[in-house]
Structure 1
């Protein structure tokens, strides 16, 4: 899980091209959610230790900084996930449609990616290429 998070957050920070497997997307979401809960817990601790005014403002500031830092990687991994199922990155705008948009977006995000190469790049799940890189078929 940590490797997927590091890949999406630091190595592919603003990479909107290529494809992302379901596991890359969902592990990134899981790690991000856990970090948000950790920041919320830290906020409670800081509020209890430093007082309501200082602790709460410090916690909100840290939470805001992390939210700001994770916007672009979040958009990038979502666009790459759409590419994996053969959709344009602009498809994420569907989520802005009230009620039906987020449901349709969830369906798209859990859909298995296209097999083989598509318009957006090679299949990230292609095990034959991985075997060739290792040198087993040589």
Structure 2
């Protein structure tokens, strides 16, 4: 997990290249754990009332927005699709399901249209 997080953060806003499945899913697990921890910290500091909000979680989410989009675009490149396919997320329910289907696909062997070699090779 640490290697995947380091790789994604070192490519903070890099939308070129490829991200294998393991890197993508380890990154999302790390993000989920981070947001869970920040939510707990928010609850301890600001309380759990809806009007208190969760400012720490919001700031962390904002800081992770760009690497989340970048690693998802690189994951799309890894299966031979353009990063623009991420716009499917704006289609309620169906778009998210299609993206999950894409995310679990195996990497394309060799180079693909995006010119990057398979990171697993």
Contact 2:19 2:71 in 1 (8 A): yes
Aligned counterparts of 1:41 and 1:98: Cα–Cα separation in 2: 29
Higher relative contact order (Cα pairs below 8 Å, separated by 6+ residues): 2
Unaligned runs of 5+ in 2: none
Pick from 59, 68, 74: which aligns with 1:74?
Answer: 68
1:98 CA drift (Å): 2.0
Which structure has more helix as a fraction of its residues?
A: 1
Secondary structure at the counterpart of residue 27 of structure 2: helix
Per-residue CA deviations over 1:55-84 (Å, capped at 9, x if unaligned) read x46xx2211111111010000000000000
Structure 1, gaps ≥5 residues long: 127-138
Give the greater-gyration-radius structure (CA): 1
Residue 32 of structure 2 is aligned to residue 33 of structure 1 = yes
TM-score (norm 1): 0.80
Displacement after TM superposition at 1:100 (Å): 1.2
Q: Normalized against structure 2, the TM-score is what?
A: 0.90
Divergent runs of 4+, >4 A: none
The answer on whether the counterparts of 2:39 and 2:56 sit within 8 Å (CA) in structure 1 is no
Q: How does 1:37-76 map to 2 (within 5 A)?
A: 37-47=36-46, 56=52, 60-76=54-70
1:99 to 93, 96, 103: 93
CA RMSD of aligned residues (A): 1.6
Say if 2:42 and 2:55, in contact at 8 Å, map to a contact too: no
**How many pairs does the alignment contain?**
118
Residue by residue over 1:59-115, the C-alpha shift from the partner in whole angstroms, topping out at 9 and shown as x without a partner, is: x22111111110100000000000000000101111211221111110000011101
